[in-house]
């Protein structure tokens, strides 16, 4: 036998292509990052097999699955070998590579694919417990004690830029907005990719955390509980709320420049739609000014019309926060010199 079932820690440590053989719908909801989806059954086929399993039992469901597989086994194998070869061609050393396969619970789907590939004498391994086991690992990771340092500041203070600077110089950072593909405000989705599912958002965070030394500082931008449609994991968010906090201070002109650089590149229609989504909270006067200013490309007026609203939201969010260190970056460049200032206040 050329394949074995491995526990999650060992499975993750092995090098090689990672194959998810679940249906496209299961994969979209959540998957192990960097995995390739080569489904044994499509969404409809999986639904049919599941219904037969519930009504007529395992044997009848297996026979139906074999009928589906018979029609596409050659195409399925071709797809597998194309991806395996692609991985091997891009690998410096493929002598110790394993084809890592997982399904929902580490059962029939992953074992079936492994059995097929075994005939070609490949190094194969399946995940004991499957994706369900992986998800337990993901959720458990948020309960571990983390040494989080929040980066806070009003809209336009360059929190994301500072986080990127820290990442560049090998500080431990979690870019929640980057992982969520959303900046968190009504303008947050502009220019961003489609947001991942909430489950996949959690998977990405857990994988990043796994690469850290938990005793060292982990820098995270201060956020509300929801970033677009993605929700920060509850245990992780609770730790964020009780963490040390660096508050960035910048002048209004600095903040306006930051916002203009970020948002003036987008289409007027997209900006206006974003403004209209919060028109009830902006009020008729500020909404009118913002819409007209977008039309006339008066970007400073656009930003001023929404800054007051977001500043009030931010002050409300800050109520009750303690253990805050102020970091005045007015007129400063976001370069390596800032890192010394951060190190001095922590």
Q: What contacts 293, CB < 8 A, 6 or more positions away?
A: 299, 301, 302, 305
Q: Which two tokens stand for residue 164?
A: 């990127």
Rounded-to-integer distance, Cα 341 and Cα 313, Å = 27
Q: Do 115 and 211 sit in the same domain of this protein?
A: no
What pLDDT shows up at residue 83?
86
Q: Encoding tokens for residue 120?
A: 């070609």
Give the CATH number for residue 219: 3.40.50
Secondary structure of 318-332 in the HEC alphabet?
HCCCCCEEEEECCCC
pLDDT score of 95: 61
Residue 32, helix vs strand vs coil = coil
- As a whole number of angstroms, the distance between CA 215 and CA 93 comes to 33
Q: Looking at the structure, do residues 159 and 241 belong to the same domain, yes or no?
A: yes
> At 163, which helix (H) or strand (E)?
helix 159-168
Q: Is 173 helix (H, G, I), strand (E, B) or coil?
A: strand
Strand duo 124-127 + 3-6: pairing = parallel
How confident is the model at residue 320, as a pLDDT?
66
Q: Is the CB of residue 81 less than 8 Å from the CB of residue 19?
A: no
122 and 168 both lie in a single domain = no
Residues 25 and 133 in one domain: yes
197 and 117 housed in the same domain: no
- Structurally, the chain folds into a number of domains equal to 2
- Both tokens of 79, joined, read 């797809």
Residues 11 and 39 in one domain: yes
Residues 24 and 172 in one domain: no
- Which of 85, 106, 139 is at the close of a domain? 139
Q: Retrieve residue 117's tokens.
A: 């590939």
Same domain, 111 and 155: no
Count of other CB atoms within 10 angstroms of residue 271: 21
pLDDT < 50: residue spans in the chain: 1
pTM, rounded to two decimals: 0.90
Query: Given this model, what pLDDT does residue 2 score?
Result: 54
The per-residue pLDDT for 204 is 98
- Show Cβ contacts of residue 159 under 8 Å, excluding neighbours closer than 6 positions: 151, 152, 153, 221, 222, 248
CA dihedral defined by 103, 109, 113, 115, rounded to 10 degrees? 120
d(CA 332, CA 225): 30
Do both 113 and 171 map to the same domain? no
What is the arrangement of strands in the sheet containing 148-153, beginning at the earlier edge strand? 172-174, 218-221, 148-153, 244-249, 324-328
Q: What is the pLDDT of residue 108?
A: 85
Same domain, 18 and 49: yes
Nearest by Cα to 272 from 255, 254, 308, 297: 297
Per-residue confidence (pLDDT) for residue 82, from 0 to 100: 87
Are 64 and 153 in the same domain? no
Residue 4: predicted pLDDT: 82
| Tens-place pLDDT, residues 171-212 | 999 999 999 999 888 888 888 899 999 999 999 999 999 999
pLDDT at 1: 45
Tell me how far apart the 2 most distant CA atoms of the chain are, in Å: 73
Full domain range(s) for residue 7: 3-139
**Residue 111 and residue 154 in one domain:** no
- For residue 275, CA distances in Å to 187, 228, 290, 298 come to 8, 15, 7, 15
What pLDDT, on the 0 to 100 scale, is given for residue 36?
94
Which string of b and e fits 203-229 if b means at least 16 CB within 10 Å? bbbbbbbeeeeeeebbbbbbbeeebbe
């Amino acid at each position: 036998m050329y394949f074995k079932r491995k526990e999650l820690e060992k499975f993750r440590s092995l090098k090689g292509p990672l194959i998810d053989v679940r249906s496209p719908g299961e994969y979209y909801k959540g998957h192990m990052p960097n995995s390739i989806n080569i489904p044994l059954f499509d969404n409809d086929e999986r639904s049919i097999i599941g219904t037969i399993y519930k009504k007529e039992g395992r044997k009848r469901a297996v026979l139906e699955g074999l009928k589906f597989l018979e029609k596409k086994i050659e195409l399925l194998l071709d797809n597998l070998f194309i991806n395996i070869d692609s991985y091997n061609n891009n690998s410096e050393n493929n002598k110790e590579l394993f084809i890592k396969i997982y399904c929902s619970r580490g059962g029939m789907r992953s074992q079936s694919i492994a059995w097929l590939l075994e005939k070609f004498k490949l190094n194969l391994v399946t995940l004991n417990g499957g994706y369900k086991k992986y998800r337990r690992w993901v959720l458990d990771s948020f309960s571990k004690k983390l040494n989080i340092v929040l980066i806070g500041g009003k809209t336009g203070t360059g929190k994301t830029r500072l986080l990127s600077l820290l990442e560049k110089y090998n500080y431990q950072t979690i870019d929640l907005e980057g992982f969520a593909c959303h900046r968190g405000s009504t303008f947050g989705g502009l220019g961003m990719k489609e947001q991942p599912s909430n489950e996949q958002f959690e998977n990405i965070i857990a994988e990043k955390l796994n690469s850290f030394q938990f005793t060292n500082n982990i820098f995270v931008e201060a956020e509300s509980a929801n970033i677009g449609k993605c929700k920060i994991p509850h245990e992780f968010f609770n730790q964020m709320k009780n963490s040390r906090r660096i508050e960035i201070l910048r002048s209004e002109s600095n903040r306006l420049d930051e916002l203009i650089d970020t948002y003036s590149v987008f289409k007027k229609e997209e900006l206006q739609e974003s403004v209209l989504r919060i028109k009830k909270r902006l009020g008729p006067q500020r909404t009118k000014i913002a819409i007209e200013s977008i039309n006339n490309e008066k970007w400073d007026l656009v930003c001023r019309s929404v800054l007051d609203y977001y500043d009030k939201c931010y002050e409300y969010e800050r109520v009750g926060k303690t253990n805050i260190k102020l970091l005045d970056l007015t007129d400063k460049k976001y370069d390596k010199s800032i890192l010394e200032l951060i190190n001095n206040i922590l």
